[in-house]
Amino acid sequence: MIMKKCALITGASGGIGSEIALRLAKDGFAIAACYCSDESGIRKLEKELCEIGAVYKLYKADVSDYNRIKEVFADAADFFGGVSVLVNNAGIAQQKLFTDITQEEFDRITAVNFKGVFNCCQCAVPFMVNRKSGKIINISSMWGVCGASCETVYSATKAAVIGLTKALARELAPSNIQVNCVAPGAIDTKMNNNLSDEDKSAFAQEIPMGRFGTAQEIAGVVSFLASRDSDYVTAQVITADGGLT
């Protein structure tokens, strides 16, 4: 068994998820890196984790599959001794007119973005309650705060994550478990590759800071929320969007 606190990060193969995994590894955590399908992304993260001498294990899992997530947490308990920090980062986006959204698309986005967070929290909480300590950090979006045109279902699921965060934080506070949320704004990752350079430039001009954020900057916020410095911070939504909302 690894004698280090473990941080489990979902969506670890993506731009934000991989930076969170690397930052928490540098902070001294063992890393349980979960991903769904991005093999090239997870191999890149694995190489970088090896380079910094991190203790880690990779898990291929769809967060919407409750039984698979139970298996991941059971294995993490055996391998790491349990998950001390959970970062619910996995998510999928969609840009589409509301009237064009299919039932299948609605079900899939909801299953990953909201049910996936519920699944991971439900698997993590018993261990944390038993230990009387733990931190859950949910990655929402600024669109979960204010809503985005043509991203109705995405915005709704990210708003649901905020609601879950605030309610669960109050429920778990007596057990010394902090539950918080990070709501990133426009971040320079491949999730925004659908935007043209012209669209990106126009969007950046709307941001008071005049630029997109970086995945490293989001990882820095998560690092704070995972640390002892945030022990009296719970039920909060930290919006990191350059002042846009």
Predicted local distance difference test score (pLDDT) of residue 202: 86
Kindly indicate the confidence band of residue 190, based on its pLDDT and cuts at 50, 70 and 90. Answer: confident
pLDDT at position 98 over 70: yes
pLDDT at position 192 over 80: no
pLDDT at position 200 over 90: no
Kindly indicate the confidence band of residue 90, based on its pLDDT and cuts at 50, 70 and 90. Answer: very high
Average pLDDT over residues 213-240: 98
pLDDT at position 195 over 90: no
Continuous H helices in the chain: 15-26, 39-51, 66-80, 103-110, 116-131, 142-146, 152-172, 197-206, 215-226
Predicted local distance difference test score (pLDDT) of residue 196: 73
pLDDT at position 141 over 70: yes
Average pLDDT over residues 152-170: 98
Average pLDDT over residues 138-163: 96
d(CA 229, CA 216): 19
pLDDT tens digit string along 28-70?
999 999 999 999 999 999 999 999 999 999 999 999 999 999 9
Could you give the angle at the alpha carbon of 84 between the alpha carbons of 236 and 75, nearest 5°?
A: 130
Catalytic residues: 154
- Amino acid present at 61: A
The CA–CA distances, whole Å, from 73 to 9, 82, 151, 205 equal 12, 8, 32, 43
Question: Which pTM value belongs to this model?
Answer: 0.96
Average pLDDT over residues 230-234: 98
